Chains A and B, each alone.
Chain A
Amino acid sequence: MRIIFVFTVALLLGGCYQNESGLSDTLLYCTENSPQSFNPQISHDVSTLDATTHQLYNRLIKIDPTSNRFIPDLATHWLESEDKLSYTFFLRRNVSFHQTDYFSPKRYFNADDVIFSFNRMLNKNHPFHSVNRVSDTFFFNHPFTNLVSDIIKVDQYTVKFVLNSPDATLLANLAAHYAVIHSQEYAQSLLSRGHPEKIDFYPIGTGPYKFKNFQSSRVTRYLAHDLYWGEKAAVKKLIYDVTPNNTKRYTKLLSGECDVITYPAASQLSKISKNTDVVISSQPTANIALWSFNTSREPFDQVEVRQALSHAVDQKTIVDAVFFESASATDTLLAKRSWAFNPRSTHINYQPDDSLLSLKQRGYDFTKKLTILTPSDNSVFNPNFHKTAELIQANLFDIGIDSEIISLTHAELEKRLLSGDYDTYVTGINIHINDPDNLFRPLLSCDSTVLEGNSSRWCSAQVQELLDSTLIEPSFIKRVRNYYELQKIIQEQRPYFPIAHVLRMDAFNKNISGLLVNPLTGINFQNVRKIEAR
Chain B
Amino acid sequence: MLKYLFRRLNLLIITAFILTIIAFMLQHWSSGSIDNRNYFLQYIDYMANIFQGRWGISSIDQRSLLNKGLTAFASTLELCFVACITSIIVAFPLGILAGLKRNGFIDYTIMTIALIGLAIPVFWLAIIMTMLPNAVGISLPVDGNISPVFEVPVISGFVLIDSLLAADQYQMRAFADRAAHLILPAVVLSFFLITEIIRLTRHAITMIMRSNYIKAAYAKGLATKQIVLRHVLKNALPPIIHQIRLQLSTIISFAMTIEIVFSSDGAGVWLLTSIQEGDYLALPAAVLIISGFILLSSILIDILLMIISPTKRKALYADQ
**How far apart are A47's CB and chain B's nearest CB, in angstroms?**
16
22 contacts between A and B (CB under 8 A): A3-B89, A4-B89, A7-B86, A14-B140, A14-B180, A14-B183, A17-B176, A17-B180, A20-B150, A21-B147, A28-B147, A213-B151, A216-B265, A217-B273, A243-B263, A245-B263, A251-B130, A251-B131, A251-B134, A251-B142, A252-B142, A252-B143
Q: Answer yes or no: A185 CB below 8 A from chain B CBs.
A: no
Q: A217's contact among B61, B143, B179, B180, by CB below 8 Å, is which?
A: B61
Bound complex: CA A21 to CA B140 (Å): 13
- Which residues of the partner chain A approach B141 to less than 8 Å between Cβ atoms? 17, 19, 252, 255, 257
Bound complex: CA A239 to CA B150 (Å): 10
Bound complex: CA A23 to CA B148 (Å): 13
Complex contact A28–B148 (CB within 8 A)? yes
Q: Answer yes or no: B314 CB below 8 A from chain A CBs.
A: no
Complex contact A14–B134 (CB within 8 A)? no
Bound complex: CA A15 to CA B134 (Å): 12
Complex contact A218–B180 (CB within 8 A)? no
The chain A residue with its CB closest to the CB of B184 is: A14
Bound complex: CA A28 to CA B147 (Å): 10
Q: Answer yes or no: B10 CB below 8 A from chain A CBs.
A: no
- Which residues of the partner chain B approach A218 to less than 8 Å between Cβ atoms? 144, 148, 265
Q: A239's contact among B60, B142, B148, B173, by CB below 8 Å, is which?
A: B148
Bound complex: CA A219 to CA B177 (Å): 16
**How far apart are A534's CB and chain B's nearest CB, in angstroms?**
14
**How far apart are B277's CB and chain A's nearest CB, in angstroms?**
9
Q: Identify which of residues 322-367 in chain A touch chain B, using a CB-to-CB cut-off of 8 Å.
A: none
- Which residues of the partner chain A approach B142 to less than 8 Å between Cβ atoms? 248, 251-252, 255
- Which residues of the partner chain B approach A23 to less than 8 Å between Cβ atoms? 149
- Which residues of the partner chain A approach B15 to less than 8 Å between Cβ atoms? none
- Which residues of the partner chain B approach A255 to less than 8 Å between Cβ atoms? 134, 139-142
Tell whether A14 pairs with B179 under 8 Å between CB atoms, given A28-B148, A28-B149, A251-B142: yes
Tell whether A241 pairs with B144 under 8 Å between CB atoms, given A3-B89, A28-B149, A255-B134: yes
- Which residues of the partner chain A approach B180 to less than 8 Å between Cβ atoms? 14, 17
Given A215-B148, A255-B139, list of 5 further CB < 8 A pairs? Answer: A13-B176, A20-B177, A243-B143, A243-B263, A251-B130
Interface 1/0 per residue, A507-522 and B, CB below 8 Å: 0000000000000000
Q: Is the interface of B mostly helix, strand, loop or mixed?
A: loop
Tell whether A257 pairs with B143 under 8 Å between CB atoms, given A21-B149, A28-B148, A217-B61: yes
Q: Answer yes or no: A284 CB below 8 A from chain B CBs.
A: no
- Which residues of the partner chain B approach A4 to less than 8 Å between Cβ atoms? 89
Q: Answer yes or no: B318 CB below 8 A from chain A CBs.
A: no
- Which residues of the partner chain A approach B150 to less than 8 Å between Cβ atoms? 20
Complex contact A219–B148 (CB within 8 A)? yes
**How far apart are A494's CB and chain B's nearest CB, in angstroms?**
37
Q: Answer yes or no: A299 CB below 8 A from chain B CBs.
A: no
Interface 1/0 per residue, A195-223 and B, CB below 8 Å: 00000000000000000010111110100
**How far apart are B2's CB and chain A's nearest CB, in angstroms?**
36
Q: Answer yes or no: B216 CB below 8 A from chain A CBs.
A: no
The chain A residue with its CB closest to the CB of B173 is: A20
The total of chain B residues at the interface (CB under 8 A) is 28
Q: Answer yes or no: B138 CB below 8 A from chain A CBs.
A: yes
- Which residues of the partner chain A approach B140 to less than 8 Å between Cβ atoms? 14, 17, 255
- Which residues of the partner chain B approach A245 to less than 8 Å between Cβ atoms? 263
Q: Considering residues A21, A26, A254, A255, which has the most beta carbons from chain B within 10 angstroms of its beta carbon?
A: A255
Interface 1/0 per residue, B152-184 and A, CB below 8 Å: 000000000000000000000100110110010
Q: Answer yes or no: A166 CB below 8 A from chain B CBs.
A: no
Tell whether A239 pairs with B149 under 8 Å between CB atoms, given A19-B139, A217-B60: yes
- Which residues of the partner chain A approach B273 to less than 8 Å between Cβ atoms? 217
Q: Identify which of residues 10-65 in chain A touch chain B, using a CB-to-CB cut-off of 8 Å.
A: 10-11, 13-15, 17, 19-21, 23, 26, 28
Q: Is the interface of A mostly helix, strand, loop or mixed?
A: mixed
The total of chain A residues at the interface (CB under 8 A) is 34
The chain A residue with its CB closest to the CB of B140 is: A17
Bound complex: CA A416 to CA B60 (Å): 25
The chain A residue with its CB closest to the CB of B89 is: A7
- Which residues of the partner chain A approach B143 to less than 8 Å between Cβ atoms? 243, 248, 251-252, 257
- Which residues of the partner chain B approach A254 to less than 8 Å between Cβ atoms? 134, 139
**How far apart are A353's CB and chain B's nearest CB, in angstroms?**
44
Complex contact B138–A15 (CB within 8 A)? yes
Interface 1/0 per residue, A474-510 and B, CB below 8 Å: 0000000000000000000000000000000000000
Q: Identify which of residues 108-144 in chain B touch chain A, using a CB-to-CB cut-off of 8 Å.
A: 130-131, 134, 138-144
- Which residues of the partner chain A approach B265 to less than 8 Å between Cβ atoms? 216, 218
- Which residues of the partner chain A approach B134 to less than 8 Å between Cβ atoms? 251, 254-255
The chain A residue with its CB closest to the CB of B170 is: A20
- Which residues of the partner chain B approach A243 to less than 8 Å between Cβ atoms? 143, 263
- Which residues of the partner chain B approach A217 to less than 8 Å between Cβ atoms? 60-61, 273
- Which residues of the partner chain A approach B263 to less than 8 Å between Cβ atoms? 243, 245, 248
Q: Considering residues B149, B173, B176, B180, which has the most beta carbons from chain A within 10 angstroms of its beta carbon?
A: B149
The chain B residue with its CB closest to the CB of A237 is: B149
The chain A residue with its CB closest to the CB of B278 is: A411
Complex contact A19–B176 (CB within 8 A)? no
- Which residues of the partner chain B approach A11 to less than 8 Å between Cβ atoms? 183
- Which residues of the partner chain A approach B61 to less than 8 Å between Cβ atoms? 216-217
- Which residues of the partner chain B approach A219 to less than 8 Å between Cβ atoms? 148
Bound complex: CA A278 to CA B315 (Å): 65
Please provide the 8 A-B residue pairs with the shortest distance between their CB atoms, ordered closest to farther: A17-B180, A20-B149, A219-B148, A255-B139, A20-B147, A239-B148, A241-B148, A14-B183
Q: Considering residues A3, A21, A248, which has the most beta carbons from chain B within 10 angstroms of its beta carbon?
A: A248
**How far apart are A15's CB and chain B's nearest CB, in angstroms?**
7
Q: Considering residues B134, B139, B176, which has the most beta carbons from chain A within 10 angstroms of its beta carbon?
A: B139
The chain B residue with its CB closest to the CB of A242 is: B263
**How far apart are B67's CB and chain A's nearest CB, in angstroms?**
12
Complex contact B139–A17 (CB within 8 A)? yes
- Which residues of the partner chain B approach A17 to less than 8 Å between Cβ atoms? 139-141, 176-177, 180
Bound complex: CA A281 to CA B265 (Å): 31
The chain B residue with its CB closest to the CB of A21 is: B149
Bound complex: CA A10 to CA B140 (Å): 14
- Which residues of the partner chain B approach A13 to less than 8 Å between Cβ atoms? 176, 179
